[in-house]
Structure 1
Amino acid sequence: MSRQTTRRIVALVLGALLTATAPDLSFAQDPFTEFFGGLFGEGHQHRGGGARREQRVRRIMPHRENRGPTYWHSQSEKSRRAAKRSSESTTTDQSQAAATTEPTFFVATVGDTLGLLLANGLKDGFSDRPDVAILKQGKESSGLVRDDFYDWPKAAKEIAGGAQKINVAVVMLGSNDRQAIQQGGETVEPLSPRWRELYAARVDAVIDAFREKNIPVIWVGLPVMKNERLSADMAQLNEIFKERAAQANIPYVDLWEAMTDEHGQYSAFGPDINGQIVKLRSADGVHFTEAGARSVAHFVEGEIKKYYDAYRQQAPVADAPAAPAPAAGGAAPSEQPVAAAPADGQPIIFRSPVAGPSAAPTLPERPAIGPTQQLTGASGTATELARRSVAGKQPASGTPEQALVRHVFIEGGDQNPRNNRADDYSWRPPANAASQPR
């Protein structure tokens, strides 16, 4: 046998021995798992790499069916989960009930783009009252000047006399009315005396269109604007609105101060209904953001709720027991008068959206002059408060004490200071004395 053949035989034998005794690939990749698995009865037989990797994944990320039981949860945790399920069920029931409730009180919001934004804010404000419906009857880019584009006095009559029931009308107009009025062949300059007269007549026409149908009207003023010139003109329009509203005896909601900062100037930011400082005005300095429309609607809701409460008191309550018939010749027992509608033209008191003012405490009534009581009484009585000493003597008028009293309290003089008394200033250096170097 040659040396080369011997070497080939030895190589073949060594290769066979190494193949028989070498561990599998999984052991080479994870020797620690193989070792500890063998100690606890796992992995004592060689397995494929894929099976071992699947076993490792199950140990690290257990499947759902291998998760521990949930009976260890505390009673409070179980109560919290039960309350959450009950709350979700209640919310669903309320939503379904609100969806099935038909509105019975209708608010028509008429006006330009600002009036449409106000209607959006009112819808959000009355979202918790499904019986209140907000009707958007506005027209973008409209006003009282350009009747050739949109005739609001005519439109108001159509809205008031239409088939749709309306309980309250909210009007917000004027942001586009800084224009000349064309009266026949005459052109009237904006905000001139003749212009004011014609404009006030058109405001009255819109108000009268609703009042002829016994529909209450709430007029909302214009807010401050970013442009100073535009803001000054809007202020003059508000004067006309306020004057005509007072003449018609209807509520007028002033938004000027509500949309300004602490200095009375325009501010794009301000508090929302929750007291958080947010952006209330859009970039053009005229229109409202969504939060701004909600804040403006907050000031109008108070006037609407007055008519809403009066309507609820007058409207019959569903499933209410019938009142007993009155006796012959007598009035019905426990008859209560129906509350009247709120008086129009009453002053509007604005409340903060964060927190309302608290009532001041009241004090019991006290007489201006109380009972008199004698300060001196007979000796030995129980009512004696003080008694003049007979042994005491008044100082004579010429004594030093009496002279000091007259000098200090009558003549207004000063008393000479005494040593070690509070008025002794002898320890102070003279005012004109030179300061000593330190």
Structure 2
Amino acid sequence: MTARASRRNRRDLNRTVRLLALLVALVVALTSVLPVTRAEAQQRPKTVVEMLFGSGTRAEPPRRVIKKRVIRKKRDVRAQRATPRKKRTATRQNRSNPTRASAAKPARSAPAAAAAAADTSTAAPAKSENARTILVVGDFMAASLADGLMESFADDELVFVTSKANGSSGLVREDFYDWPNELGPIIDAVEPDILAVMIGANDRQPMRVSGNILAVRSDGWTAEYEKRATDLARIAEARKVPLIWVGMPSFKYDAMSEDMVFFNDIYKRAAERVSGEFVSIWDGFVDEKGSFIYSGPDVNGQTARLRGSDGLSLTDDGEDKLAFFTRKAVDRALGESPAQVALDDEALPSLQLQPLSNAANATVSAPIALNDPSFDGSDALLGTASQQNAFSLEMSPRDRLVLNGDPVNAREGRADNFAWNAKSDAIRSTPPVIYRGSIDVKTLKENSGLTPPKEMPTILDAIIEDWENSGADGAQSSGG
């Protein structure tokens, strides 16, 4: 009975399996024959369990659609990140030449023009007619220098920065762009008050001179390159334009940085030959070991990205730092040649004459007691009262002492009061302990009965005396 029952159970199981397989085949055949809608076609294939028992979950969107959405989102983020850089560059270009920028813009509609006129928070101030001009020439590094200077002098209406840089130019390839021949006409057309030169990043290449090819940094190449740099500086000297030559920074490649150090020495000598100023920016773009860095402290002392990913170009923060080093020399040059200001009716009331006296000529100011809670003493520092009497021709105590030799009338109880009018008991004593006037040592010994100290022996006498004393002590010890 047991064997028969087991065979029957095995037959029932096989029958059930065949029935399920037939049911699955029937469902698959029906789904292939029936029409498929577009929504069902976008769904992922169902499993056998879902086909038999159904699925209560919502169909997931196709993976391809998700991928497209992610790619589109990344593109939007990249576009947003690139927007500030484009706006800042456009702003700097407009500041460099407002006339050109206004001519290049298309005509706006009335609502757009009204909205632009209302938003004046980002508009650059108009430059004065008497503004001094800074001309920047050179290669692509000079273009970055011009952008930084434009940003630095954006709020100064008396300084105008313009750029005539050629990104691929240099002093080697005169067949591409001849700076010694082009710079003169540029200066005559712009009439700048200061000339800033930054060039040399493209000059690491052989030079052709009189049909001969000279290797980089060879003797002939160096002599010719230094001559061309000096000729460029002589052009500014001939037109009496102050020259500021900005050196090259370090670059990503060690060989290129080594050549830049060599070039900077040539630029420095060329600028000094015409009484120009050389600005070294090397330390601003290297670390404490002198190696190239992508990021470093900006003009505010905060860590920022200074160089581009190529290791050559400068970021906005790098341009600002480049202008920070250069502006010190620019301010000195601008101070030597002040702008011509017209003295019209509006400017005259704002003029202030320098006072004839200063704080050094001040006399006395009422002191403020430390234990005075009301502080009813003087509420101004020493020297402030003298500014009120700026046009007084009376000599100050300092001038009377230095020029005329008159002593200062010291106030009683003050530290500079050296007067001693009352005689003390020490002076009335006989003999007195204080002598007035000049007196020699002999008179002092006779009157006071003082004996001078014994004369100090020489070193030789001291050694002999010490040796004799040691010998006497030894004799006494042996005799005892």
Runs of at least 4 residues off by over 4 Å: 91-97, 313-318, 376-384
Q: 1:161 aligned to 2:197?
A: no
Residue deviations 1:41-91 (CA, integer Å, cap 9, x gap): xxxxxxxxxxxxxxxxxxxxxxxxxxxxxxxxxxxxxxxxxxxxxxxxxx9
Equivalent in the alignment of 1:110 = 137
Equivalent in the alignment of 1:227 = 253
List gaps (5 residues or longer) in structure 1.
Answer: 1-90, 323-333, 335-370, 385-409, 411-438
Quote the Cα distance in structure 2 between the aligned partners of 1:208 and 1:283: 37
Quote the Cα distance in structure 1 between the aligned partners of 2:290 and 2:263: 18
Equivalent in the alignment of 2:268 = 242
| Secondary structure in 2 matching 1:107 | strand
* Contact persistence 2:130–2:339 (CA under 8 A): no
* Contact persistence 2:130–2:341 (CA under 8 A): no
Q: For CA contacts below 8 A with separation 6 or more, give which structure has more relative contact order.
A: 1
> 1:218 Cα shift?
0.5
Quote the Cα distance in structure 1 between the aligned partners of 2:127 and 2:145: 26
Alignment of 1:38-117 (within 5 A): 98-99=125-126, 101-102=128-129, 104-117=131-144
Q: 1:175 aligned to 2:175?
A: no
* Contact persistence 2:130–2:340 (CA under 8 A): no
| Secondary structure in 1 matching 2:126 | helix
Residue deviations 1:185-238 (CA, integer Å, cap 9, x gap): 111111111111110111112112222221111101111122111111111111
Which letter maps to 1:165?
E
> 1:256 Cα shift?
1.3
Which letter maps to 1:142?
S
Quote the Cα distance in structure 2 between the aligned partners of 1:224 and 1:235: 8
Equivalent in the alignment of 2:461 = none
Equivalent in the alignment of 2:306 = 280
> 1:97 Cα shift?
9.5
| Secondary structure in 1 matching 2:161 | strand
> 1:165 Cα shift?
2.5
- Length-normalised TM-score, structure 2: 0.47
> 1:119 Cα shift?
0.4
> 1:180 Cα shift?
0.7
Quote the Cα distance in structure 1 between the aligned partners of 2:174 and 2:210: 12
> 1:99 Cα shift?
3.0
1:144 to 165, 171, 176: 171
Equivalent in the alignment of 2:217 = 191
* Contact persistence 1:102–1:130 (CA under 8 A): no
Quote the Cα distance in structure 1 between the aligned partners of 2:341 and 2:333: 12
Which letter maps to 2:142?
G
Quote the Cα distance in structure 1 between the aligned partners of 2:139 and 2:227: 18
Quote the Cα distance in structure 1 between the aligned partners of 2:262 and 2:121: 47
Residue deviations 1:111-152 (CA, integer Å, cap 9, x gap): 100000010000000011022111110001111001111111
> 1:312 Cα shift?
2.8
* Contact persistence 1:122–1:134 (CA under 8 A): yes
Q: In structure 2, do the counterparts of structure 1 residues 318 and 149 end up closer, same or farther at CA, with 3 Å as the change threshold?
A: farther
Q: 1:211 aligned to 2:228?
A: no
Q: In structure 2, do the counterparts of structure 1 residues 318 and 114 end up closer, same or farther at CA, with 3 Å as the change threshold?
A: farther
> 1:94 Cα shift?
9.3
Aligned identity (percent) is 30
Q: In structure 2, do the counterparts of structure 1 residues 210 and 231 end up closer, same or farther at CA, with 3 Å as the change threshold?
A: same
Q: In structure 2, do the counterparts of structure 1 residues 280 and 178 end up closer, same or farther at CA, with 3 Å as the change threshold?
A: same
1:291 to 313, 317, 320: 317
* Contact persistence 2:298–2:304 (CA under 8 A): yes
Q: Which deviates the most, 191-200 or 261-270?
A: 261-270
* Contact persistence 2:233–2:270 (CA under 8 A): no
Alignment of 1:16-55 (within 5 A): none
Indicate the RMSD between aligned Cα atoms, in angstroms. 3.8
Equivalent in the alignment of 2:330 = 304
Quote the Cα distance in structure 1 between the aligned partners of 2:298 and 2:315: 11
The count of aligned residue pairs is 255
Q: In structure 2, do the counterparts of structure 1 residues 166 and 158 end up closer, same or farther at CA, with 3 Å as the change threshold?
A: same
> 1:184 Cα shift?
2.2
* Contact persistence 1:145–1:181 (CA under 8 A): yes
| Secondary structure in 2 matching 1:288 | coil
> 1:262 Cα shift?
1.5
Quote the Cα distance in structure 2 between the aligned partners of 1:116 and 1:313: 26
Quote the Cα distance in structure 2 between the aligned partners of 1:169 and 1:188: 30
Equivalent in the alignment of 2:160 = 133
> 1:309 Cα shift?
2.7
1:260 to 286, 294, 312: 286
Quote the Cα distance in structure 2 between the aligned partners of 1:111 and 1:318: 39
> 1:168 Cα shift?
0.6
Residue deviations 1:263-295 (CA, integer Å, cap 9, x gap): 222111111111111011111212211100110
* Contact persistence 1:103–1:133 (CA under 8 A): no
Q: In structure 2, do the counterparts of structure 1 residues 255 and 95 end up closer, same or farther at CA, with 3 Å as the change threshold?
A: closer
| Secondary structure in 1 matching 2:322 | helix
Query: Greater share of helix residues, 1 or 2?
Result: 2
Equivalent in the alignment of 2:103 = none
Which letter maps to 2:191?
K
Quote the Cα distance in structure 1 between the aligned partners of 2:199 and 2:304: 25
List gaps (5 residues or longer) in structure 2.
Answer: 1-117, 355-417, 419-425, 436-465, 467-480
> 1:100 Cα shift?
6.8
- Length-normalised TM-score, structure 1: 0.51
Residue deviations 1:147-182 (CA, integer Å, cap 9, x gap): 1111111111121122x2211110000001011111
* Contact persistence 2:139–2:170 (CA under 8 A): yes
Quote the Cα distance in structure 2 between the aligned partners of 1:250 and 1:232: 24
Equivalent in the alignment of 2:65 = none
Q: In structure 2, do the counterparts of structure 1 residues 176 and 95 end up closer, same or farther at CA, with 3 Å as the change threshold?
A: closer
